[in-house]
Structure 1
Amino acid sequence: MPTPWWRNAVVYQVLPRSFADASGDGIGDLPGLTSKLDHLTDLGVDALWLTPCYRSPWTDAGYDITDHRKVDPALGTLADFDRMLAEAHARGLRVLLDVVPNHTSDQHEWFRRALAATPGSPERDRYVFKDGRAPDRPPSNWESRFGGSAWTRTSDGQWYLHLFAPEQPDLNWRDPRVREEFAGILRFWGDRGVDGFRIDVAAALVKDLREPLRDVVGGEGCEGLDDFAANPDHPFLDRPEVHEIYREWNRIFHEFDPPLIGVAEAWVRGDRRVRYIRPGELQQAFNFEFLRVRWRAADYRRVVAESIAAARSVGRTATWALNNHDVVRQVSVLGLPRGVDPRVWLTTNGTDPPADLELGTRRARAAIMLVLALPGSAYLYQGEELGLPEVADLPAQVLGDPKRSGKDKGRDGCRVPLPWTRGGPSFGFGGPRPWLPQPRDWGDYSVEAQRGDPDSMLELYRSALRLRREFSGNESFSWDDDRNVGDVLAFRRGEVLVLVNTGSTTAPLPAGSVLLASSPLEDGLPADTAVWLRRE
């Protein structure tokens, strides 16, 4: 039986509004993506993951959806999508779509009907409406990930739940109509030929709605990997009932040949994350613990060992990523002193302290060689192959992320449109004025500027992805106990020895044929450098 394509795939995340603009209106679109598919094949990835391109008011980057079966007119048409999908498949690229099952837009027909209906009506049962504890008190202390209460009061006095923006009301997955709708959505896109789905907010679909609602124990907010020690039976995160949904979805995936795949965005730790990829459920789950490591060998060592062991315990492979559309870009993060919170740093427009981009780039080059050497699947985010830093100084008047607040500038800085050419009004993105302004030096990061330059980030990615194919099908992994000490990570993938120096001094370099190095090698393995060796 052939190995499923996804076990060791490299998947490239596309944020369509910021990838390429064919219409010239400053907003990236599906025809623009289609025109740049050769960039992805030239890079050497296996698949692309497309963030939402559905009908949306765009309050939250398209994650507030009014119709999962229609393409938003700003991005194109269903015919444009079909053309992109056919062109991708013709190049050997698989395509994953985002599916957003936790909530809809408040402009969705269902929610409009719910607001117009009376309390207790079937229309309201599709969402989570509750009476308050008092007229001016919400039903519980649950908080939105974007800050403040997760409850908004309606004109008739009831409250509705939104774990994100008020414009994103949470669906009630205990209502069979919700389950039926999303089963239909999966089949709709499966019939069009997509290869699978990334599942947004995968751990939060089912809430404990028994009266009275239980408060969350602990500090404010639900950001990141939540405190399940204080809330072992969490009222709205990672509830056991959610796995019934994914067992049903897995049966739907197997209606297709080859089967579709599901990738869980589940912000839970490894012991909980592995439940989502058990046989009969989903195929992959994002590894956010790895993404949060800040250039420390001991932390990488622990997360890598735990992640591989957890995935293998259920017959799966681990996933690895350094960037995505929700986090500060690694080039900037790795250029900050340890202990500096990147989100707090953003509120200073990146000035306190200034990021050392030379250091951050050097570390990011080594980090991607670590990622691409690990067994399992790697996820790349558009622009990381160009070494793009976070655009920390976007002016307040252009910011649109609903997550922004006094404590958080939001996520727009990692979503600035890509540069394709050295010059031009939008560096080849398309149109005179992109929806987010690009820095003046963006042309230096462009595909045109880097292609063919052996020292560029783009050529490092291309070389690493080409070499990776030599051992990616071999899922063997073992630590090199003699060298995997201190600030140096050392492990073997078949005949390849991988070394990563996260320290500040040069480490010994064993004999062997150098396949690839992230920075020039001197008398040993320099600080902040990775190398792949074939032992002689």
Structure 2
Amino acid sequence: MWWRDGVIYQIYPRSFQDANGDGVGDLAGITSRLPYLADIGVAAIWISPIYPSPMADFGYDVADHAAVDPLFGTLADFDALVTAAHDLGLKVILDFVPNHTSERHPWFLEALNSPQSSTRDWYIFRDPAPDGGPPNNWLSEFGGSAWARDPVSGQYYYHAFLPEQPDLNWRNPAVVGAMHDVMRFWFKRGVDGLRIDALLHVMKDAAFPDNPPDPDFREGMNPYRRLLPLYSCDTAEVHGVIAGMRRVAEEFPDRLLIGEAYLPFDRLAAYYGREGGGVHLPFNFALIQAPWTARALDDLIARYEASLPEGAWPNWVLSNHDRPRIAGRVGPDQARVAAMLLLTLRGTPTLYYGDEIGMAQVEVPPERVMDPWEKRVPGLGLGRDGARTPMQWDGGPFAGFSTVEPWLPLADDFTEVNVQVEKAGPFSMLTLTRSLLALRRSRAALARGSYRSLGAQGGLLAYLRETEGERLLVALNLGGDPLALALPDGGPKGEVLLSTFCDREGEAVNGALALRANEGVVVALG
């Protein structure tokens, strides 16, 4: 299975490469940069939504699930991208948005015609509460009530996100059939996998009871957390929906399903499904949310490994389009250590575009904010624009991303932090990332080996990756002071394969390993 061995690279298409000079990235731009991605050594690209959309939520409000928005190009451009990627040995994963559509989707426009329209039951319409208000107290992820009133019928429709994103009714067999056909449409075009958006939300409790208050909620938190979403997401029935999607994927050889699910480990494990009937990889976002300490990370990894069902394959994510970049969370020095962590843990890593060069989280001025979440719930740091800024290819005008002002501002440091500069730098973040990716490809212990913690002490996190005949030690200094680690099992000899400073390859290690501040190393043990 290709996805067990390789690294997935996430592309936010608006921000990767603009080929037509309109300030927004597109499919032709992605295609032009595929040689770079093949060269650094990733196995697959995951492309966030490219569907026709009014862009209320930048593509996650889908108006047609089986087409390409002209902003990004055409279906022919997409087919050319898939062909070029496959020619370079790259797999292509596409975002699949089954929970909701755009309010401008033909299905929803028809549903609004009348309560008797042919697609009315494709969505979730409910009568008002006795007081005329929303049917229950469910909240939108993006702020406020999750119910919007249809002024014509007086009923309310449900939207887990924006009012412009009405939720589909997956209890209706016609919806199930239509969305399964969407999956088949893209698989037939050569797509190697689908990343399923908002998977937790697809099934709701049919009785629509009120959600209970969250006793841990405090003012200043995301207002969505006022309630525990017991009945509006992560219901038991979602697993039947996933099993149906898995059956569709298995109509095609070697296809991958990834599920977006922000959940504790004990609940996340269920998304692998019984007897392989779930998604192949329920996304594990724990590193995004974890305290950056050796003890916390050691405990997190152990709990995740212990939670996995038999035969399940782990996965790890450091950054994505919805959360602040890793360099913004831990700083540029620790971002190098974090890269080594991500790319040496057991399982499939997902690398977010720009993290391979250490792109920063950008402070977007209020007048340039684009994210609807930030606009609806301002002042709480929920905005996602800062993690979606244009890829920094070179130090020229607009960082080589476009020939015009991009849709989001560039980072102030783009003249120093960019692909062109870092390609030539023997100690750069890009050099480190390429070396880590090469090490994963050449060392079976990193690609498929077991994981064994050596514990955490102070700022030191250490673990072994082992296969028969190969033992690799990974030691990470998560602090700003030098540390020393005694080698395991009485101190066998070893050799440094890679340091996050890119300057110790081949160094002999005998009995103990010295780590500089903010340094990680991989050592082959004799």
Shift of 1:531: 0.8
Please give the per-residue CA displacement for 1:85-136, whole angstroms capped at 9, x wherever unaligned: 0000111111111000111011111111112213x65432111111221454
Give 1:245 deviation, angstroms: 1.1
Q: Residues of 1 paired with 2:156 and 2:250: CA distance? A: 39
**Cα offsets for 1:387-434 (capped at 9, x unmatched):** 011111x2222212110122335111111111211112x121122211
- Secondary structure of residue in 1 paired with 2:178: helix
Does residue 428 in structure 1 map to residue 403 in structure 2? Answer: no
1:457 corresponds, among 426, 429, 438, to 429
- Write the deviation string for residues 451-500 of structure 1: whole angstroms up to 9, x where unpaired: 0201111111001110112133333111235xx43431111112210011
Superposed CA offset, 1:287-312 (max 9, x none):
1122211311111111111222223x
- Do the aligned residues in 2 keep the contact of 1:518 with 1:531 (CA within 8 Å)? yes
Task: After TM superposition, give the deviation of residue 196 of structure 1 in Å.
Answer: 0.9
Which residue does the alignment assign to 1:415? 388
Distance 1:52 1:296, change over 3 A: same
Residues 391, 439 of structure 1: 8 Å contact kept: yes
User: Which piece of structure 1 moves more, 47-56 or 407-416?
Assistant: 407-416
How far apart are 1:439 and its partner, in Å? Answer: 3.4
* Within-5 A mapping of 1:488-507: 488-494=460-466, 495-507=471-483
Tell me the CA shift for residue 441 of structure 1: 2.9
Q: Find out whether 1:264 has 2:259 as its counterpart.
A: yes
- Corresponding position of 1:42: 39
Q: Does 1:530 align with 2:520?
A: yes
Task: Find the aligned partners of 1:527 and 1:289 in 2 and give their Cα distance.
Answer: 25
Does the Cα contact within 8 Å between 2:298 and 2:453 map onto a contact in 1? no
The Cα of 1:269 is off from its aligned counterpart by: 1.1
3-state DSSP of counterpart to 2:457 = coil
Tell me the SS of whatever aligns to 2:410. Answer: coil
Three-state SS of the structure 2 residue aligned to 1:432 is coil
Displacement of 1:223: 6.0
Residue in 1 that maps onto 2:510 = none
Paired residue type of 1:401: D
Partner deviation per Cα, 1:328-347 (whole Å, 9 max, x = no partner): 1111111xxxxxxxxxxxxx
Q: In 1, Cα distance between the equivalents of 2:151 and 2:144?
A: 19
Partner of 2:372: 402
CA contact (8 A) 1:10 1:380 kept: yes
Residue 198 in structure 1 maps to residue 172 in structure 2:
no
Question: Do the aligned partners of residues 227 and 422 (structure 1) sit closer, same or farther apart at CA in structure 2, a change above 3 Å counting?
Answer: same
Identity of aligned residues (%): 41
TM-score, structure 2 as length reference: 0.90
1:68-467 pair list within 5 angstroms: 68-118=65-115, 121-156=117-152, 157-210=154-207, 213-218=209-214, 234-258=230-254, 260-278=255-273, 279-311=276-308, 313-334=309-330, 360-392=331-363, 394-404=364-374, 405-409=377-381, 410-424=383-397, 426-467=398-439
Q: Which residue of 1 aligns with 2:496?
A: 514
Q: Does the aligned pair in 1 maintain the 2:4–2:348 contact within 8 Å?
A: yes
The size of the alignment, in residue pairs, is 497
Q: Is the partner of 2:174 in helix, strand or coil?
A: helix
RMSD over aligned CA atoms reads: 2.2
Deviation at 1:217, TM superposition (A): 3.2
Q: CA deviation at 1:383?
A: 0.5
- Say if 1:317 and 1:164 are closer, same or farther in 2 by CA, change over 3 A: same
Secondary structure of residue in 2 paired with 1:203: helix
Q: 1:223 to 1:187 in 2, by over 3 A?
A: farther
Match of 2:453 in 1: 479
Q: Please give the alpha-carbon distance, in whole angstroms, between the structure 1 residues aligned to 2:396 and 2:287.
A: 36
> Is the partner of 1:256 in helix, strand or coil?
coil
Is the partner of 1:68 in helix, strand or coil? coil
Aligned residue type for 1:176? P
Aligned positions of 1:2-17 closer than 5 A: 4-17=1-14
- Pick which of 127-136 and 178-187 moved more: 127-136
Amino acid at match of 1:265: E
The unaligned stretches of length 5 or more in structure 1 are 335-359
Shift of 1:505: 2.7
CA distance in 1, matches of 2:358, 2:195: 25
Residue 500 of structure 1 aligns with an amino acid whose one-letter code is L
Residues 9 and 376, structure 1, Cα contact 8 Å, conserved in 2: no
Secondary structure of the 1:54 match is coil
**1:224 CA drift (Å):** 11
Assess if the C-alpha contact under 8 Å between 1:420 and 1:443 holds in 2: no
Read off the aligned partner of 2:50 and give its amino acid letter: C
Shift of 1:437: 2.0
How far apart, in 2, do the equivalents of 1:373 and 1:158 lie?
52
Closer/same/farther in 2, CA of residues 238 and 102 from structure 1, 3 Å limit: same
The structure-2 alpha-carbon separation of the partners of 1:21 and 1:54, relative to structure 1 and needing over 3 Å to count, comes to: same
Deviation at residue 46 of structure 1 after TM alignment: 0.5
Alpha-carbon deviations, 1:218-250, whole Å to 9, x = none?
26699699799x67xx21211111111111111
- Matched to 1:452, the amino acid is A
* Structure 1 residue 176 displacement after superposition: 1.0
Give the TM-score normalised by structure 1.
Answer: 0.88
Judged with a 3 Å threshold, the aligned counterparts in structure 2 of structure 1 residues 326 and 249 are, in CA distance, closer, same or farther, namely same
Q: Hey, what's the Cα distance between the residues in 1 that align with 2:51 and 2:61? A: 9
CA-CA distance at 1:209 after TM superposition: 2.7
Quick one: which amino acid aligns to residue 334 of structure 2? Answer: R
Over 3 Å counting, the alpha-carbon distance change for 1:116 and 1:69 in structure 2 is same
Cα distance change on mapping 1:444 and 1:379 into 2, 3 Å: same
After superposition, give the CA deviation of every residue in 1:134-188 in whole Å (9 maximum; x if it has no partner): 4542111111111111111121321111111111111111111110111100100
Indicate the SS of the match to 2:359.
coil
